[in-house]
Amino acid sequence: MSLLLESFAHSWEPFVLVIGLLFIGHSAAHEGLFESVGQLCARVPGGDLSLFVVTMLAVALVTATLNLDTAVVFMTPVALEAARTRGVDERAFLYGTILMVNAASLLLLGSNLTNMLVFASQPARGSVVAGHMALPWAVSVVLTMALVALRYRSTFRPRSSRASGDPITWSVGPGLVATVLAVVAMLLLSHPALPILALGCSLEAYELLARHRIRWGDTVRVASPVVIVPLFLLAVAVGWLSREWSAPTHWLAHAGPLATAFAAASMSLLINNLPAASLFAAGHVTHPYALLIGLDLGPNAFVTGAMSTMLWLRIARTNGAEPTVGRFSALGLPIAVITILAATLVS
């Protein structure tokens, strides 16, 4: 029982954090923040490639600051709308969004649930992790963007129609303020989950009870309990088994950074990167940053790798897109291998 409780204590914080960030993102969306970002992207001068680059950079920044699951929920529609507004082939934007959110989730502790699971047993200040991962993050973002653009280069026109020139409205409200506070908390605190959850729940309650802009069903949908709860229980169970049977941590004890990264990526595809993080991080990790790279970038190879991909499939189809698992893997597998190699080598 003590090992089960230890696994629970090790696993709860990332899931609490992502709920808080999803609520903050929900409030920011109601203020029109993501819609304004999409409109701004659609106005970039030049052709389709320029629009793609700017949109992917926006996805990367939202991912780093508001967590990849938040970015999937709110930036997938933004990327599709930016492409449709300009009459651009949307496939690069559709697949680029999910590949980018995984690639861009390396930077902050709160950018990906797995990052917090990796460092739960050996806490580190968020600014230290960000400083170490800044270069691997930049390399992963640039490579992912370049490889997706290369794959869809034939669909990019040198010039495309510009979006409407109507003024863009930026609303500085509680959602934007909370976003800034959440980023500061993730940089300065080793355990930012509870403050960010309190902030997110306060915003959601304000929208629900004071402003009446959302309903209870919206709150439940945003929190995604049907996705988060099973993954949390699986992470606890896998963490408990890993503590009972300590072989997984022994496997990595003498492995180098590249072997660690690819072992983490492979396990992510087998059991999802959240329980995989619990499996490997149950004990001391010799190369935690390499482990983080494998857990974050490996899921780009197949849809089973991360919760973010499952959310993306649902959100994309809800917004009229038609993603396929085969096309995702055909594009994502080589990108996963290349970015893992590159990010590990520069970390």
The verdict on pTM exceeding 0.75 is yes
Place of tokens 């009459």: 87
As a whole number of angstroms, the distance between CA 239 and CA 234 comes to 8
pLDDT of residue 71: 85
Residue with tokens 């304004």: 36
Give the number of domains in the chain. Answer: 1
- The pLDDT score that the predictor gives to residue 166 is 63
Joined tokens for residue 168: 């863009």
How many CA within 13 A on the CB side of residue 103?
Answer: 35
Residue 327's Cβ-side half-sphere holds a number of Cα atoms within 13 Å equal to 13
Predicted local confidence at residue 83, as pLDDT: 87
Q: What is the pLDDT of residues 88-104, one digit of tens each?
A: 899 999 999 999 999 99
* CA 284/CA 298 separation, integer angstroms: 21
Side chain identity at 304, as an amino acid letter? T
Distance of CA 132 to the CA centre of its chain: 18
Q: What is the pLDDT confidence band of residue 333, given thresholds at 50, 70 and 90?
A: very high
Q: Over range 307-318, report the average pLDDT.
A: 83
Compute and round to an integer the Cα radius of gyration of the chain.
Answer: 19
Q: Which of 95-104, 120-129, 327-336 has the lowest mean pLDDT?
A: 120-129
Whether pLDDT at 33 is above 80: no
Containing structural domain, residue 337: 2-346
More confidently predicted of 265 and 12: 265
177-214 residue pLDDT tens: 888 888 788 777 777 888 989 998 888 888 777 776 66
- Residues 346, 139 contacting (CB under 8 angstroms): yes
The residue-averaged pLDDT of 215-231 equals 74
The answer to whether 183 and 17 are in contact (CB under 8 A) is no
Does residue 25 register a pLDDT over 90?
Answer: no
Would the pLDDT of 331 be above 80? yes
Q: pLDDT per residue over 35-53, tens digit each? A: 777 777 777 887 889 899 9
Better pLDDT: 95 or 243: 95
C-alpha–C-alpha distance, residues 151 and 174, integer Å: 40
**Confidence (pLDDT) at 104:** 96
User: Tell me, what's the pLDDT at 54?
Assistant: 92
pLDDT on residue 110:
80
Q: State mean pLDDT over 95-116.
A: 91
Task: Please state, rounded to an integer, the average pLDDT across all residues of the chain.
Answer: 83
Note the pLDDT of residue 147: 97
- pLDDT at residue 249 above 80? no
Residue 23 has pLDDT above 60, yes or no: yes
Q: How far apart are the first and last CA of the chain?
A: 38
Question: Has residue 246 got a pLDDT over 70?
Answer: no
Nearest to 271 by CA among 53, 114, 64, 40: 114
| pLDDT over 80 (residue 302) | yes
CA atoms of 134 and 49, how far apart (whole Å): 25
Give 80-134 as a DSSP string.
Answer: HHHHHHTT--SHHHHHHHHHHHHHGGGSSGGG-HHHHHHHSSS---HHHHHHHHH
Give the pLDDT band (50/70/90) at residue 140. Answer: very high
pLDDT at 167: 65
Separation between Cα atoms, residue 206 and residue 27, nearest integer Å: 9
Q: Is the pLDDT score of 149 beyond 80?
A: yes
- How many angstroms separate the CA atoms of 279 and 165, rounded? 51
State yes or no: pLDDT of 336 exceeds 60: yes
